[in-house]
Structure 1
């Protein structure tokens, strides 16, 4: 298996689409539909990268990222924010997030961003 990616998003369809796209490129993928569950999964899954939604029902993406960055296992993991709010790159908190993808995003943009921040050697060109 390739690098490990954790998807934290309350939209099941987004998780399924992203998981399908990334697993097809050699990534090992796990999903969490709630922020707190995603934070817990960091401990057991040890992902190489996290794709994190901003708006979730329990805790938002910023709070989830703060909790992850406080963990020994989470402090160095790149986190890509996925936002449907039209957030600008300049508004991004660089202490928490490595990059961002505005929803809706293309599969090519998704794979390119994940490849860039994991340096995935097994990924195919899109």
Structure 2
């Protein structure tokens, strides 16, 4: 059965790039351009992994992560932050808030695919 990954990012170029990278590995990709849409898709599709940007309008990634982790339907879905925020305090906060990984942009396509495959096989 195909694994499902949800990407929540307000940058259309990132959504497209990550979708192309992951589709090479026979992964079903779902995309959301904002936090609210991402929460809705997460509840409906129950993805195996969520890649979540931090800096988004309206509801940022930190708020989305908190909402995912308190919702009975989504609390057990692994979340990896996918962001250009590279400071150690952001990485620590992500892990403290329940993210299982912290991937910084820009990323190497092969590196991202390897990281996602590692998470999905755990």
TM-score scaled by structure 2? 0.91
CA distance in structure 1 between the partners assigned to 2:97 and 2:56 by the alignment: 20
Alpha-carbon distance between aligned partners in 1 of 2:37 and 2:62, rounded to the nearest angstrom: 15
Deviations 1:53-79 (A, max 9, x none): 000011111100111111222111110
Q: Which residue does the alignment assign to 1:115?
A: 117
Gaps of 5+ in 2: none
In the alignment, is residue 16 of structure 1 matched against residue 31 of structure 2? no
**CA shift for structure 1 position 2:** 1.5
Extract structure 1 runs of 4+ deviating beyond 2 A. 87-95
Q: Is the 8 A contact 2:95 2:101 kept in 1?
A: no
Q: Does structure 1 retain, via aligned residues, the 8 Å contact 2:7–2:31?
A: yes
Contact 2:66 2:97 in 1 (8 A): no
1:37-116 aligned at under 5 Å gives the runs 37-88=37-88, 89-116=91-118
Q: CA offsets per residue over residues 77-106 of structure 1, 9 Å max, x none? A: 110101112132444333421001111011
Deviation string for 1:18-77 (max 9, x for gaps)? 001101111000100001110111111110000000000111111001111112221111
Are the structure 2 counterparts of residues 49 and 13 from structure 1 closer, same or farther at C-alpha, using a change threshold of 3 Å? same
**Bigger mean CA deviation after superposition, 107-116 or 90-99:** 90-99
Please give the alpha-carbon distance, in whole angstroms, between the structure 2 residues aligned to 1:50 and 1:110: 13
Judge conservation of contact 1:8–1:35 (CA < 8 Å) in 2. yes
What's the C-alpha RMSD, in Å, of the aligned pairs?
1.5
Greater helix proportion: 2
